[in-house]
Amino acid sequence: MAGVGSACLVVALLGAVYAAGASLYGVRAGRAEFVASGRRAIYCMAGLLACAMGLLEAAFLRSDFSFAVVAEASSTDTPTFYKVTAMWATQDGSLLLWAFLLTVFASAVLYVTRRSLRAIAPYATAVLAVVAGFFLLLMVAWENPFSTLTRAPVEGNGLNPLLRHPAMMVHPPLLYTGYVGFSIPFAFAIGALVTRRTGADWIRVTRRFALVAWTFLGAGIMLGALWSYTELGWGGYWAWDPVENASLMPWLVGTAFLHSIMVQEKRGMLKVWNVSLVCGTFALALLGTFLVRSGILDSIHAFGASTIGVQFLTFIALVCVVSVGLIISRLPDLRSEARLDSLLSREAFFLLNNLVLLGLALVIFWGTFFPLISEALTGHKASVGPPWFDRLATPLALVLVLLAGIGPVVAWRRITPRNLRRALLLPLAATGTALLALLALTNAADSPPSLAMFCFVAFVLGVVAQEFWRGARARRVMTGEPLPRALLRLAGRNRRRYGGYLVHAGIAVLFLGVAASSAFVQQRDVRLRPGQSARIGDYRVTYQRATADLGADRAGTGAPISIGAVLRVRKGDERTRMLPARNFYPARDASQGPIGPISQFFEGEANSEVDLRWGLRRDFWTAIRPDTTSLVPIARRLDARLAGAGTEAQARAVAALTEVYRRDPPPAAFRLIVSPLVAWIWIGGGIAVLGALVAMWPSPEARLRRVTSTYAARLGRELSRA
């Protein structure tokens, strides 16, 4: 079956070459049949890659260890859900996922535009074919997911326990969908540049794809943060790690793009800016994909030197050179159709928002690549840590949130100062009230940046609420509907606008959570014996007793041993029980020498099973690091003694050993964290995604008009033929 899979990849690669060639020939020679043929080649590629994915997943599901990737990332004792998702834990498998998603998206957009954009679409087809071809070439020549092992091992390595978390497994597909999604506007932008049709048509068609990509990328980033918070033992959600930054940069530039294309659609301005932004977003998306696998930056995620780093870098350089070259050569066609009338206009504020977003992206880029920059400039490799990022990103984030509040209030072209004052009155009042309340009732003033952020968030929420209210009221004046209905109809008929407002509200809430949980978090690391207590904030935490479970870890990750604690948490009259644990997985890494069957459990991978109590006001987070070092020598001695005994005796020995720990545990290290308002980060993100869905949903009226107009066109065509 591996041969069939490889064949799919090879034929898909040939298809990519044909698709590019046929589309380009067809559009230049004016022969529509070749353009159609090239389009079909893309559809075929999608089908072939779907087959390839299916074959590979089947191999995972039946634990066929003759496949190198299956042996690398899966094992017979990996739970089924993780067997399926393990495919993209490997380099080869993730390349396949990327290529598959790309061809599916490409097929979708080419199908939708098959009768429109006839001048641009063939060039877009060629660009998409080249990008897909690049990924296919990487697989066929260097990292084939269907490579087989001449001697199939009996058991695979198993999925890294750190990745055995639902969020972690959904995270790569979401990110890749985001990256891939941005390739669509990029391809059409290149087509528009080549054909000099730099009006807003390429934007109109691809805008929705850009929005979808933005949503998926944002959701993927948030899932990554959620995973870090709930799965890793450090209790934070963002570490400014290079890999995290790599996904955030295209998202920021993509956000700028989504705003500035509105300016081009409405006023015909910012054409150069838009094509540059979309090329930049795509280049950053490729960079993001590459960074995770390159090993050029030290990171928790750095997987060591990669074999495809050079190729990726070459391709990214090619994309940059072609983009810049095309833009410069087409500058005359990219002249603005209008000028900025007034600084008090939505165009001006969008431009400002773009500058802030790009500034933020630049800061992150600089900090992420600083080791390489400093090495190039000074010869020493230096790096900057989270405090530097926080220091520079915070003021930019504050300005961003403030702009998110002012933007919705300002009209296109111009708004008179008097109208602006009137519009800002209520939101400013809300902000002032919030400020007073915060100063009087909380200790928010201890952190001025957080206080400022809270006020700005109140401002944004005030503006959004006012927009909905005033819009509904205006509607009711005309239609007399009841308020709820007016609100729904209002949002329904102006989805882009009100969906966008929801996104702003969601992002504001997200920043509320970030500000509160960064500035006012309380954290303690303590060592406790059973019976001992510790205080954190208003809580009193007592270590009651140890727990040891075999083969039944709470998260269903298939951990053979799970050692933990029962903690009793008291605050006033409230009592809760928390059960942090640590899962131990058998060692498969024989590079340190042979490991005995009993010791393997205490010298293999281990990860934290965090226990967390969500709350709207605060989260209580606990993790444990039990001290199993005393068990290791005993395990080694048992291995020596039971060398010849069967697996049952060994299993009983392991059980006995964990029981020894449970009865009389040495002091364990606990990390206790009380984070205020963390849950609002996830809630805010959810609201933003909801808003994006509203904004991208096609509105029925437009669809109706499109349908009737296509009928009218068809009628016209047929009449002229008669």
The residues in 138-157 that bind other proteins, with binding defined as CB under 8 A, are 147-150
State the minimum distance, in angstroms, from the CB of residue 410 to other proteins. Answer: 7
Question: Which 659-698 residues touch other proteins, going by CB under 8 A?
Answer: 669, 671
Task: List the structure tokens of 718.
Answer: 């047929």
Token pair 């392991």: residue: 654
State the minimum distance, in angstroms, from the CB of residue 270 to other proteins. Answer: 14
State the minimum distance, in angstroms, from the CB of residue 677 to other proteins. Answer: 22
Q: Interface with other proteins by CB under 8 A: which range of 322-330, 412-420, 439-447, 610-618? A: 412-420
By CB neighbour count within 10 A (0-12 exposed, 13-18 middle, 19+ buried), where does 401 fall? buried
Distance between first and last Cα of the chain: 55
Identity of the residue, 93 or 691, whose beta carbon is nearer to other proteins in the bound complex: 93
Answer for the pair 468, 508: CB distance below 8 angstroms, yes or no: no
Identity of the residue, 419 or 576, whose beta carbon is nearer to other proteins in the bound complex: 419
Identity of the residue, 2 or 253, whose beta carbon is nearer to other proteins in the bound complex: 2
Binding-site size, other proteins (CB under 8 A)? 130
Q: Residue 509 has what DSSP assignment? A: H
Question: Which 422-441 residues touch other proteins, going by CB under 8 A?
Answer: 422-423
Identity of the residue, 592 or 647, whose beta carbon is nearer to other proteins in the bound complex: 592
Which of 54, 61, 81, 116 is in the footprint of other proteins by CB under 8 A?
Answer: 116
Q: Does 590 bind other proteins (CB under 8 A)?
A: no
State the minimum distance, in angstroms, from the CB of residue 44 to other proteins. Answer: 5
Answer for the pair 74, 87: CB distance below 8 angstroms, yes or no: no
State the minimum distance, in angstroms, from the CB of residue 359 to other proteins. Answer: 6
Distance CA 120, CA 57 (A): 36
What's the CA angle centered on 17, arms 15 and 23, to 5 degrees?
Answer: 95
Distance CA 386, CA 546 (A): 35
Q: Interface with other proteins by CB under 8 A: which range of 56-64, 449-457, 535-543, 710-718? A: 710-718
Distance CA 80, CA 63 (A): 10
Token pair 């794809």: residue: 209
Sign of CA dihedral 101, 102, 108, 111: negative
Which of 61, 300, 310, 488 is in the footprint of other proteins by CB under 8 A?
Answer: 300
Whole-number Cα distances in Å, 667 to 160, 536, 633: 28, 19, 18
DSSP letter string, 455-505: HHHHHHHHHHHHHHHHHHHHHHHHH---HHHHHHHHHHHTHHHHHHHHHHH
* Ramachandran sector of residue 63 (left: φ over 0; alpha: ψ -120 to 50; beta: rest): left
Q: Does 40 bind other proteins (CB under 8 A)?
A: yes
Answer for the pair 679, 513: CB distance below 8 angstroms, yes or no: yes
Identity of the residue, 116 or 544, whose beta carbon is nearer to other proteins in the bound complex: 116
Distance CA 97, CA 101 (A): 6
State the minimum distance, in angstroms, from the CB of residue 605 to other proteins. Answer: 7
What's the CA angle centered on 577, arms 574 and 580, to 5 degrees?
Answer: 140
Identity of the residue, 54 or 325, whose beta carbon is nearer to other proteins in the bound complex: 54
Question: Which 469-528 residues touch other proteins, going by CB under 8 A?
Answer: 470-471, 474, 477, 494, 497, 525, 527
Whole-number Cα distances in Å, 582 to 39, 245, 532, 556, 623: 52, 29, 20, 13, 8
Identity of the residue, 423 or 555, whose beta carbon is nearer to other proteins in the bound complex: 423
Identity of the residue, 8 or 635, whose beta carbon is nearer to other proteins in the bound complex: 8
Which of 63, 266, 579, 660 is in the footprint of other proteins by CB under 8 A?
Answer: 266
Residue 693: Cβ within 10 Å count = 16
Question: Which 54-73 residues touch other proteins, going by CB under 8 A?
Answer: 68, 72-73
Question: Which 613-642 residues touch other proteins, going by CB under 8 A?
Answer: 625, 627, 629
State the minimum distance, in angstroms, from the CB of residue 233 to other proteins. Answer: 6
Strands 618-625 and 606-609 turn out to be unpaired
Q: Does 103 bind other proteins (CB under 8 A)?
A: no
Q: Does 281 bind other proteins (CB under 8 A)?
A: no
Q: Interface with other proteins by CB under 8 A: which range of 11-19, 180-188, 317-325, 566-574? A: 11-19
Token pair 């805010």: residue: 684
Q: Does 306 bind other proteins (CB under 8 A)?
A: yes
Q: Does 398 bind other proteins (CB under 8 A)?
A: no
Q: Does 705 bind other proteins (CB under 8 A)?
A: yes
Answer for the pair 557, 583: CB distance below 8 angstroms, yes or no: yes
Q: Does 311 bind other proteins (CB under 8 A)?
A: no
Distance CA 298, CA 223 (A): 22
Question: Which 74-93 residues touch other proteins, going by CB under 8 A?
Answer: 89-91
Residue 101: Cβ within 10 Å count = 23
Q: Does 6 bind other proteins (CB under 8 A)?
A: yes
Residue 464, C-beta contacts closer than 8 angstroms, at least 6 positions apart? 408, 501, 502, 504, 505, 508
Which of 74, 323, 607, 658 is in the footprint of other proteins by CB under 8 A?
Answer: 607
Identity of the residue, 269 or 512, whose beta carbon is nearer to other proteins in the bound complex: 269
Distance CA 574, CA 71 (A): 49
Which of 80, 154, 332, 387 is in the footprint of other proteins by CB under 8 A?
Answer: 387
Distance CA 711, CA 713 (A): 5
Q: Does 713 bind other proteins (CB under 8 A)?
A: yes
State the minimum distance, in angstroms, from the CB of residue 307 to other proteins. Answer: 6
State the minimum distance, in angstroms, from the CB of residue 709 to other proteins. Answer: 5
Which of 173, 185, 242, 371 is in the footprint of other proteins by CB under 8 A?
Answer: 371
- Give strand pairing partners of 574: 571
Question: Which 555-584 residues touch other proteins, going by CB under 8 A?
Answer: none
State the minimum distance, in angstroms, from the CB of residue 311 to other proteins. Answer: 14
Sign of CA dihedral 633, 634, 636, 641: positive
Q: x/- contact string, 201-220, with other proteins (CB under 8 A)?
A: x--x----------------
State the minimum distance, in angstroms, from the CB of residue 655 to other proteins. Answer: 24
Q: Interface with other proteins by CB under 8 A: which range of 23-31, 324-332, 444-452, 507-515? A: 23-31
Distance CA 541, CA 534 (A): 5
Identity of the residue, 339 or 575, whose beta carbon is nearer to other proteins in the bound complex: 339
Question: Which 174-203 residues touch other proteins, going by CB under 8 A?
Answer: 199-201
Residue 575, classed as helix, strand or coil, is strand
Q: Residue 233 has what DSSP assignment? A: T
Question: Which 342-361 residues touch other proteins, going by CB under 8 A?
Answer: 343, 355, 359
